[in-house]
Amino acid sequence: MGVNTDVVISFTFGLGSALAAAAGILFAVNYPAIDPLMGILPGLKAFVAAVLGGIGNLPGAALGGLIIGVTETLVAGYISSTYRDAIAFGILILILLIKPSGLLGKKELKKYEFQTRQNFFARRDCAVLFSFARLQIELIPTGFSSPTTSASTSSSPSASI
């Protein structure tokens, strides 16, 4: 009863593979030379579009792709076509400096934000850590002389091994 997850995972994998094959065929039709690195630039631009929109956000990735495409076309038309590929990576650097979560990405909160010293010492896990450290410090011997035991004073040679 319910959704069969194995079927959904298999269908999603098959659909993604079919769309990637269709994109590869359409790309190869425009660039008829076979090269092992023939898809690296579109793949990097797709990565830039996903980072621009927000990783894990499908509308954000679509918006990022639209912004990258329009910006590249405007740069090629008004400035120079040699800067067309470089503008995508310039946008990537800017978005990572300004807003690393992307345009539509949500900011993730850190689990442990120690803003003040009181907040740091108020946490239970830190109190356990400090009590363990205090116990370790108390167990450190203060002198350099070792205590004598009965095994070290024994006269048999096998007892010292």
pLDDT per residue as tens digits for the range 60-108: 888 888 999 999 999 988 988 888 888 888 888 888 888 888 888 776 6
**Same domain? 28 vs 74:** no
Residue 17 pLDDT exceeds 80: yes
**Same domain? 26 vs 58:** no
Most confident of 28-37, 81-90, 109-118, 148-157: 81-90
136 — pLDDT class (breaks 50, 70, 90): low
**Same domain? 55 vs 89:** yes
**Same domain? 114 vs 127:** yes
145 — pLDDT class (breaks 50, 70, 90): low
Tally the domains of the chain. 3
**Same domain? 47 vs 103:** yes
Distances from the Cα of 147 to the Cαs of 139, 144, 152, 155, 158, in angstroms?
14, 10, 10, 18, 20
**Same domain? 23 vs 57:** no
**Same domain? 12 vs 59:** no
Residue 13 pLDDT exceeds 90: yes
Separation between Cα atoms, residue 47 and residue 102, nearest integer Å: 12
pLDDT (0 to 100) of residue 38: 79
**Same domain? 126 vs 74:** no
Yes or no: say if 12 and 52 are a contact pair by the CB < 8 Å rule: no
Domain boundaries, position 117: 109-140
pLDDT (0 to 100) of residue 114: 46
Residue 7 pLDDT exceeds 70: yes
Letter string b/e over residues 3-42, b meaning 16 or more CB atoms within 10 A of that residue's CB? eeeeeeeeeeeeeeeeeeeeeeeeeeeeeeeeeeeebeee
Share of the chain above pLDDT 70, in %: 66
**Same domain? 4 vs 19:** yes
Average pLDDT in the chain? 75
In a domain, 85, yes or no: yes
